[in-house]
Amino acid sequence: MCGIVGAVAQRNVVPILLEGLRRLEYRGYDSAGLVIINGGLQRVRSIGRVASLTADCAAQQVHGHIGIAHTRWATHGAPTESNAHPHVSGGLAVVHNGIIENHEELRSRLKGAGFSFASETDTEVIAHLIELYYRQSKDLLDATRKAAAELEGAYAIGVVSEDSPNRLVCARKGSPLLIGLGIEENFIASDVSALLPVTQRVMYLEEGDVADIGLLSVNVFDAAGNKVDRSVHISELSADMAELGNYRHFMQKEIHEQPRALTDTLLIAVAQDHIQPEWFGFDAAEILGKVDAVTFLACGTSFHAAKVATYWLEEIAGIPAHAEVASEYRYRTSVPNPNALIVTISQSGETADTLAALNHAKSLGQDKTLTICNVPESALTRASRLKFLTRAGPEIGVASTKAFTTQLAGLFLLTLVLAKLRGRLTPAQEVEHLTALRSLPNKLQQVLALEPEVEAWSHRFANKNHALFLGRGVHYPIALEGALKLKEISYIHAEAYPAGELKHGPLALVDEDMPVITIAPNDQLIGKLKSNLQEVRARGGELYVIADGDVGIEESEFVHVIKLPGGHNGALSPILHTVPLQMLSYHAALQKGTDVDKPRNLAKSVTVE
Ligand code: AGP
């Protein structure tokens, strides 16, 4: 969703701001803008891509040593130039991520105080509120702090004023914001990837922090106004990790990066001879040893990973597990279990629904919390007692791919740890599981080699309006994930069902225009699945089966089969069966000519409820 970049330097900051915005494009946005202070405020805003903002800045020869920039994903007010950030009031300008819940009340108060509004946004109230206090104190930090104290909701804000041409003030609550530290130059951003070309040294702001940033100084104050030290981190990410390289799309690159991403994620485990709770934190043995159930809270693809894990946990670790859609959890009356392990799963670590669900779980006295997350120092990792970092690297494509398979890897390790702590694993099983994990990246590489066959299927999908995905058992969530991927990037309507449910309703949809994509591992349900497939064929449905090599389903005119190398892959089978579905949606989207990495209406990090 929205992105923030700000800079104060001795050099021209315009290229830094524009490159930062370009690097935040993946988050999803519909307009972009910046303000530079060069004598007075110079503002440029543009609907659409950062490229058009860049062209406008070049045409207007904008340059200066301090500025703030923003990509906006419309919430309050349409994606128009007047609604694009920065918003100005008097001689100051503001960029904002998040949502101000009391904006209507503030708007009428500010109108009463004589301010007029030029946009429909909630952000504009922040600009005027800071200006109101600035008129009294003539101090940007003081005014920002006072205004921030009156904001309800979530915000990360950057503020500059033409009266203070070497001073950048920022504040955060509920939305992420970090400070990038350079040499005689400093930066702010909502996401570290925006700053990687200029610095890897970052300081994450905490809830309620306000910071005053100059060329040579960074002063951070907590919500109570005390000056505080926030630790400096060296980001493990490098500027080129978020580059496309030889690939056509980030999604394609990220699908192909999966063997590497899994190798990195599993490194902590496969280098060992034994399963160890410490993979999840130094005090994990104590916390995990006391839990008697697992509750997952997650959204979208991360929710599907949670669903897979519930099957693993009940079968292998013998512990009750259930997965909740995070956006629903806090609005229903649930029965809290103080001994449950609350597991949040998130690529970004900043999904507002998941964060709110975690806080709700804690407020119900459930404090044994773990997050499985791809972003160190994200809001979720900081809010959880235990953490497991997936090492997928930056995921730029809106459609989650490598984040999903690495989440599954982390969840499988959690399953093994809980199984061991509960006395459910023999030493031989322990060795067997670790051996299987060691060979997973290679097997995944072999599945990627099936891409030409998957691509050939995709040609048949381009003219379809609907598709049905079937799976059984632990592969049902993989069918859900396949359907989500297809609808998300190709805009083909897709539904997923456990194959046994077909006859209870969805079979009515099946005809020759409904492709039925089926996951067919050679597990204990294969006989029943084959019967379900006969039900489809008997109604004229065309089958696309992704099968284990030894499953014994043969190709015919209306039955298309792609066989994974070898036989059944045991508990790790869902990870391998996911990849052809990712490739299928990617190639179907190419056939349809959609914007693969930035599908319409979607954002990468969903930071609003
Ligand atoms: C996946 O392809 C989607 N873009 C989306 O469902 C995503 O998984 C969801 O928004 C959760 O995001 P998170 O993992 O960053 O919390």
CATH number for the domain spanning 345: value is 3.40.50.10490
Q: How far is CA 50 from CA 20, 28, 55, 247, 321, in A?
A: 10, 11, 9, 21, 44
Q: What is the residue with the minimal CA distance to atom 9 of ligand 1?
A: 300
Q: Tell whether 387 is covered by a domain.
A: yes
Q: Which of 343, 400, 486, 489 to mutate to test the pocket of ligand 1 (most atoms within 8 A of CB)?
A: 400
Query: Are residues 517 and 465 both part of a single domain?
Result: yes
Note whether 354 and 393 are same-domain residues.
yes
Task: List the residue whose alpha carbon is closest to atom 8 of ligand 1.
Answer: 301
- Tell me: do 261 and 404 sit in the same domain: yes
Measure 340 CA to ligand 1 centroid, in angstroms. 24
Place of tokens 């910071």: 211
Question: What is the C-alpha to C-alpha distance for residues 279 and 287, in angstroms, rounded to an integer?
Answer: 13
Contact indicator for 537, 559 with CB cutoff of 8 Å: yes
Pocket test for ligand 1, best of 344, 395, 396, 606 (most atoms within 8 A of CB): 606
CA-proximal residue: ligand 1, atom 10 (nearest)? 300
Backbone phi, psi, residue 466, to 5°: -140, 155
CA of 28 to the centre of ligand 1 (A): 13
Would 549 be classed as within a structural domain? Answer: yes
Q: If you take atom 6 of ligand 1, which residue's CA is the nearest one?
A: 300
Q: What is the pLDDT of residue 378?
A: 83
Q: Is residue 262 located within the same domain as residue 409?
A: yes
Give the pLDDT of residue 379: 85
Provide the token pair at 233: 């981190």
Residue 511 lies in a domain: yes
Is the separation of the CB atoms in 482 and 517 below 8 Å? yes
The answer to whether residue 605 is domain-embedded is no
Domain-terminating residue out of 448, 472, 500: 448
* Ligand 1, pocket residues at CB < 6 Å: 299-302, 346-348, 351, 354, 398-400, 488, 605-606
Domain end (from 241, 272, 299) = 241
Q: How far is the CA of 444 from the centre of ligand 1 (A)?
A: 22
The number of domains in the chain is 3
| 168 and 125 within one domain | yes
| Phi, psi at 401, each rounded to 5° | -130, -75
Domain coverage including residue 519: 450-596
The pLDDT of residue 480: 98
Contact 594, 585 (CB under 8 A): no
306 CA distance to ligand 1 centroid (A)? 12
Residue with tokens 């160190």: 376
- Domain assignment present for residue 609? The answer is no
Ligand 1 binding pocket mutation candidate from 296, 301, 304, 327 (most atoms within 8 A of CB): 301
Residues 268 and 393 in one domain: yes
Instruction: Please give the average pLDDT of every successive group of 10 residues along the chain, which has 609 residues.
Output: 93 96 85 94 92 95 96 83 93 92 93 92 94 95 95 92 95 91 96 92 93 96 94 82 85 96 92 91 94 98 98 98 96 95 95 94 97 89 93 92 98 97 95 94 96 94 91 97 96 95 90 93 92 88 94 89 93 98 97 90 79
Alpha carbon distance 75, 106 (integer Å): 17
Helix (H) or strand (E) holding 303: helix 300-312
CB neighbour class for 74 (10 Å; exposed up to 12, middle 13-18, buried from 19): middle
Residues 417 and 456 in one domain: no
Same domain for 490 and 570, yes or no, is: yes
Nearest atom of ligand 1 to the alpha carbon of 605: 15
Q: Which atom of ligand 1 is nearest to the CA of 604?
A: 4
Q: Output the CA 482–ligand 1 centroid distance in Å.
A: 14
What is the position in ligand 1's atom list of the atom closest to the CA of 602? 4
Please check whether residue 460 lies inside any domain of the structure: yes
Residue nearest (by alpha carbon) to ligand 1 atom 5 = 300
Q: Whose CA is nearest to atom 7 of ligand 1?
A: 300
- Residue having the nearest C-alpha atom to atom 16 of ligand 1: 346
Per the CB < 8 A criterion, the answer to whether 314 and 321 are in contact is yes
pLDDT of residue 463: 86
The per-residue pLDDT for 30 is 85
Measured distance CA(173)–CA(177) in Å, rounded: 9
User: Which of 241, 269, 284 is where one domain is finished?
Assistant: 241
Statement to judge: residues 280 and 184 lie in one domain: no
- The verdict on 434 and 411 lying in the same domain is yes
Q: How far does residue 604's CA lie from ligand 1's centre (Å)?
A: 7
| Catalytically active residues, by annotation | 2, 604
Tell me, in angstroms, the distance from the centre of ligand 1 to residue 289's CA.
30
Supply the pLDDT for residue 486: 96
Q: For residues 212 and 289, state if they share a domain.
A: no
pLDDT given at position 462: 80
Establish if 320 belongs to a structural domain: yes
Same domain, yes or no: 262 and 381: yes
Residue 262 lies in a domain: yes
